Amino acid sequence: MIIDNHGRQINYVRLAVTDRCNLRCFYCMPDEGIDFVSRDELLTYEEMLRLARLLASEGINKIRITGGEPFVRKNMDQFILNLSQVKGIDTIRITTNGTVTAAYIPVLQQAGIDTINLSLDTLDKERFYKITRRDVFDKVINCLHQLIDNGFKVKINMVVMSGLNHQDIIPMARLAEQHPVSVRFIEEMPFNGDGRLPDTTWNYRQIEQHLLETFPSLEKKPYKPASTTYDYSVTGFKGDLGIIAAYSRTFCGTCNRIRVTPQGMLKTCLYDNGVFDLKALMRNGANDEDLVVAIKSACSNRAKDGFEAERANFSSGRSLSSMTSIGG
Q: Which does 29 bind (CB under 5 to 8 A by kind): ligand SAM, ligand SF4, none?
A: ligand SF4
Sort strands 182-187 and 265-267 into parallel, antiparallel or unpaired.
unpaired
Query: What is the Cα–Cα distance from 100 to 22, expressed in whole angstroms?
Result: 9
Q: How far apart are CA 321 and CA 272, in angstroms?
A: 10
What are the C-alpha distances in Å from 65 to residues 33, 156, 158, 163, 325?
25, 16, 18, 31, 13
Is the CB of 67 or the CB of 239 nearer to ligand SAM? 67
Question: Does 251 participate in binding ligand SAM (rule CB under 6 A)?
Answer: no
- The contact pattern for ligand SAM, residues 106-125, with x = CB under 6 A and - = no contact, is -------------x------
Nearer to ligand SF4, 34 or 81 (CB): 34
∠ at Cα 241 (239, 242), nearest 5°? 140
- Assess 66 for contact with ligand SAM (CB under 6 A): yes
Considering beta carbons, is residue 119 or 268 the nearer one to ligand SF4? 119
Chain mean position to CA 267:
14
Shortest gap between Cβ of 288 and ligand SAM (angstroms)? 29
Q: How far is the CB of 21 from ligand SF4 (least distance, A)?
A: 3
| DSSP type of residue 177 | H
Partner in contact with 157, chosen from ligand SAM, ligand SF4, none, beta carbon below 5 to 8 Å by kind: ligand SAM
Closest residue to ligand SAM in the complex (CB): 328
Residue 258, phi-psi category: left (phi > 0), alpha (psi -120 to 50), beta (remainder): beta
User: Smallest distance from the beta carbon of 132 to ligand SAM, in angstroms?
Assistant: 9
The CA distances from residue 217 to 18, 184, 204, 233, in Å, are 41, 17, 18, 8
Contact flag: residue 96 with ligand SAM (CB under 6 A): yes
Binding partner of 18, given ligand SAM, ligand SF4, none, CB within 5-8 angstroms per partner class: none
Counting beta carbons within 10 angstroms of the beta carbon of residue 38, is it exposed (0 to 12), middle (13 to 18) or buried (19 or more)? exposed
Q: Residue 39 and residue 74: Cα distance in Å, rounded?
A: 11
Residue 234 C-beta: closest distance to ligand SAM, Å: 22
10, 3 contact by CB (below 8 A): yes
Please give the residue ranges that form the binding site for ligand SF4 (CB under 6 A). Answer: 21, 23-25, 28-29, 67-69, 97, 119, 323-324
Specify the residue, 136 or 282, whose C-beta has the smaller distance to ligand SF4: 136
Tell me which stretch binds ligand SAM (CB under 6 A): 3-11, 90-98, 203-211, 212-220.
90-98
DSSP conformation letters of 136-161? -HHHHHHHHHHHHHTT-EEEEEEEE-
Of 77-85, 91-99, 175-183, 310-318, the segment contacting ligand SAM by CB under 6 A is 91-99
Contact 229, 223 (CB under 8 A): no
Residue 64 or 294: the one with the smaller Cβ distance to ligand SAM is 64
Question: Residue 321's binding partner, choosing from ligand SAM, ligand SF4, none, with beta-carbon cut-off 5 to 8 A by kind?
Answer: none
The answer to whether 246 contacts ligand SAM (rule: CB under 6 A) is yes
Q: Of the candidates 11, 18, 97, 263, which one interacts with ligand SAM according to CB under 6 A?
A: 97
Q: Name residue 201's amino acid.
A: T
Residue 203 as a binder of ligand SAM (CB under 6 A): the answer is no
**Interface residues with ligand SAM (CB under 6 A)?**
21, 27-28, 66-69, 95-97, 119, 157, 159, 186, 188-189, 191-192, 246, 323-324, 328
